[in-house]
Amino acid sequence: MTSDNTTNAQAITHILANCRTVAVVGLSPKAHRDSYHVSQYMQSQGWRVVPVNPVAANSGTRILGEVVYATLTDAVSAEKIDLVDVFRNSDDVPPIVDEAIALKLPAIWLQLGVRHDAAVAKARAAGLQVVQDRCLMVDHVRSQSQRG
């Protein structure tokens, strides 16, 4: 889909230029997981990572040295969130998008392999910048190398 690629490209450019605090929904405390690796990389690039993981939050676990929140709503009550990065199954996306819209968050990123066209359309209609089926870390690395 060319229009989806174009829309993704515009959103990627906007997000990488304007976002610095990312709520990572589904961030695992396990270092071998993609969510952990990507979040650790974004931290190393100066981004603030806000973990959202109800199991870890309820057990009091910290991830990457950060307090973990059970929901986006909890995270927003403590932090100013620029971006929601989703590491969940595609079927779990609609309620996350609904919560992001209700919280008036500016952007949502669905990681590689995560797609939900209806939820993405709803988020875009609500004015959010949206990227789906892409890796935030890969696109960040690419943008840095293009800067030279």
> In which band, very low, low, confident or very high, does the pLDDT at 6 lie, cut at 50, 70 and 90?
low
Average pLDDT over residues 80-105: 98
* % of the chain at pLDDT higher than 70: 94
The pLDDT assigned to 145 comes to 86
The answer, yes or no, to whether residue 4 has pLDDT greater than 90, is no
Question: What domains sit in the chain, N to C, each tagged with a CATH number?
Answer: 2-141 (3.40.50.720)
Sheet holding 83-86, edge to edge: 48-52, 21-25, 83-86, 107-110, 129-131
Q: Which residues of 15-37 are buried (b: 16+ CB within 10 A; e: fewer)?
A: bbeebeebbbbbbbbeeeeebbe
3-state secondary structure at position 103:
coil
**pLDDT tens for residues 11-34?**
999 999 999 999 999 999 999 999
Average pLDDT over residues 42-69: 97
CA distance 92 to 60: 23
**pLDDT tens for residues 126-141?**
999 999 999 999 999 9
**pLDDT tens for residues 60-77?**
999 999 999 999 999 999
The answer, yes or no, to whether residue 111 has pLDDT greater than 90, is yes
The pLDDT assigned to 8 comes to 82
Query: What is the average pLDDT score of the chain?
Result: 94
> In which band, very low, low, confident or very high, does the pLDDT at 45 lie, cut at 50, 70 and 90?
very high
